[in-house]
Amino acid sequence: MGWEFNPETQRRERFLIAQPEDLDRECLQAKERRLLEIVQAELRTGRRCHIYAVYTQKRDVTRRLESILAREGIRVAVLTSDVPTEKREAWFETKLQQGIQVTICHPKIIETGLDLLSQGWALPLHQMQTNLAATTVRLPQQSQKTPSIR
């Protein structure tokens, strides 16, 4: 969409520039393929993963990632804001007991200070999209062997 001044109405009005086609939902994008490779490598070493995704409204990336990982036989769960803050640590504990290998959520959901390491969620923490607020997500120092999606 674009904006243009209309002299008749004396207002700026929106107009359609282009209507792009939706991407094929079955096609993995390069960033998704790379994330899948990283997660699979971590799981081969026996490490669980947690993925941050900031696009959770109009284009819910968390559910897309859940579907992609599940298709590869990875046990994955998405933490949403529907889980009350005071129950989120218990949510992680339950998922750990259920054998979930990968968790996904928006970084703001756990910015309150959940201790994922004590819950058995080893590094790495991956960011699928960059969070603009540096105070929300500060990833622990990662080794050179642990790549991250940014």
Strands (E), the chain: 2-6, 11-15, 49-52, 76-78, 102-105, 125-127
**15 beta partners:** 2
The whole model's pTM is what?
Answer: 0.68
Distance, in Å, from the CA atom of 66 to the CA atom of 130, rounded to the nearest integer, reads: 18
Q: What would the pLDDT profile of 95-123 be if each residue is shown by its tens digit?
A: 989 999 999 988 888 776 666 666 555 55
Domains of the chain: 29-127 (3.40.50.300)
Q: Which residues contact 20 (CB under 8 A, 6 or more apart)?
A: none
Pairing of the two strands 11-15 and 2-6: antiparallel
What is the Cβ-side half-sphere exposure of residue 126, based on CA atoms within 13 angstroms? 25
pLDDT digits (tens, 9 = 90+) for 15-45: 999 988 877 778 888 989 999 999 999 999 9
